């Protein structure tokens, strides 16, 4: 294969699945460098699930992947070596969470349903040697080269500073996990909400949707952060599911979205589909610009459908679907609201 032209070598590599590519990569440095060069256009191993879990939740049937030193073309220069040694001395953590220092976590991936074993990657939570930093870097890169259907990061994320340190702005490696749907959960403590949302936008390539739920008291600042994601990150996030269980914040976010749809001169960056699982106050009323209103009553459930158009471009229309469940929660009622951008008609 060494004498084959590069374009033919690439065609051969494209015929291999991920497991075959991985084995070939480990055979010698030539193939390792070749695959690294073209890996963006090669096969990705696909998993159904990807999550970070408490070490105590590992099941006896789960398969532990032994993280050993492997062949890599990565060269650690003196400058980065110094940074790594500083991180080790300062006990940089691989994960960010609010569970206390006595907790340890692992990476869990699965290719099948819940009745089948998962694969467990037992990363050092606080790398203590240069070799451990090498190992974490290598296996994170393998995860970046995979594709995941369902991803759940609940109250814990990888430390972005550690990722940046390990890859040191290496332009040849895209430090993003490829996921179809991403579920994020957060508590309002120590800037956790900001950290988790920022991490999700930077380190995930999201093909379908983001689902995030907030059970605690959501501040006005956090509500504005969510709103800015909705109106500015449509190119990164096709669809968002938000669970907000405080009526004042739900109403505030809903009103901000309505105002933006009606008055914005540029809706091109807005997320195209928004699902709000929320609580709205009893005096909730439709906006005066609502058109084509349709009401449906099914037992205790009230469904309202309507359209709202932009004042500057009447062809920019969003459809709304409200489902009021007739269930009292705190000072309001439980709602499901779906807001969807409609295709412009010529």
The pLDDT tens digits of the residues spanning 222-280 come to 889 999 999 999 999 999 999 887 777 888 899 999 999 999 999 999 999 999 988 87
Residues 6+ apart with CB under 8 A from 201: 229, 233, 236, 237
The pLDDT tens digits of the residues spanning 28-78 come to 666 666 666 655 555 567 889 999 999 988 888 888 887 876 667 788 889
Q: What percent of the chain has pLDDT over 90?
A: 49
The pLDDT tens digits of the residues spanning 157-180 come to 999 999 999 998 687 888 999 999
Residue 100 has pLDDT above 80, yes or no: no
Phi-psi region of 112 (alpha: psi -120 to 50; beta: other; left: phi over 0): beta
CA distance 49 to 57: 15
Q: Dmax of the chain from CA atoms?
A: 75
Domain 217-346 has CATH 2.60.40: no
pTM (2 d.p.): 0.82
Residue 8 has pLDDT above 70, yes or no: no
User: Residue 231 burial (CB < 10 Å; 0-12/13-18/19+)?
Assistant: middle
pLDDT of residue 188: 59
Consecutive H or E run containing 284: none
CA distance 320 to 191: 32
pLDDT of residue 200: 92
CA distance 256 to 313: 19
The bridge status of strand 317-329 relative to strand 301-309 is: antiparallel
For 176-281, list the strands marked E by DSSP: 177-186, 204-214, 239-244, 273-280
Residues 6+ apart with CB under 8 A from 82: none
């Amino acid at each position: 294969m060494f004498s084959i032209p590069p374009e033919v070598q690439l065609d051969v590599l494209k015929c291999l699945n991920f497991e075959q590519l991985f084995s070939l990569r480990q055979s010698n440095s030539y193939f390792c460098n070749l695959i690294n060069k073209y890996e963006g256009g090669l096969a990705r191993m696909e998993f159904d699930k990807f999550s970070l879990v408490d070490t105590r939740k590992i099941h006896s049937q789960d398969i532990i992947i032994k993280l050993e030193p492997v062949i890599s073309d990565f060269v650690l220069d003196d400058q980065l070596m110094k940074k790594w040694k500083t991180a080790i001395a300062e006990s940089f953590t691989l994960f960010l969470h609010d569970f206390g220092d006595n907790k340890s976590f692992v990476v869990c991936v699965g290719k099948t349903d819940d009745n089948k074993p998962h694969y467990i990657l037992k990363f050092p939570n606080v790398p203590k040697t240069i070799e451990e930093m090498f190992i974490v870097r290598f296996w994170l890169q393998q995860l970046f080269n995979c594709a995941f259907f369902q991803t759940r990061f609940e109250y814990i994320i990888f430390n972005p500073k550690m990722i940046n340190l390990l890859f040191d702005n290496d332009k040849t490696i895209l430090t993003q996990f490829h996921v179809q749907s991403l579920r994020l959960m957060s508590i309002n403590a120590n800037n956790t909400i900001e950290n988790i949302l920022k991490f999700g936008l930077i380190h995930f390539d999201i093909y379908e949707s983001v689902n995030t739920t907030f059970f605690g008291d959501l501040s006005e600042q956090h509500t504005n952060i969510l709103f800015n994601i909705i109106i500015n990150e449509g190119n990164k996030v096709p669809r968002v599911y938000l669970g907000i269980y405080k009526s004042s914040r739900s109403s505030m976010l809903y009103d901000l979205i309505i105002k933006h749809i009606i008055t914005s001169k540029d809706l091109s960056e807005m997320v195209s589909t928004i699902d709000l699982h929320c609580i709205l106050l009893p005096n909730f009323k439709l906006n005066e610009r609502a058109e084509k209103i349709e009401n449906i009553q099914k037992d205790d459930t009230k469904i309202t459908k309507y359209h709202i158009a932009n004042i500057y471009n009447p062809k920019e229309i969003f459809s709304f679907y409200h489902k009021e469940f007739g269930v009292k929660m705190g000072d309001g009622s439980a709602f499901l609201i779906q807001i969807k951008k409609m295709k412009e008609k010529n």
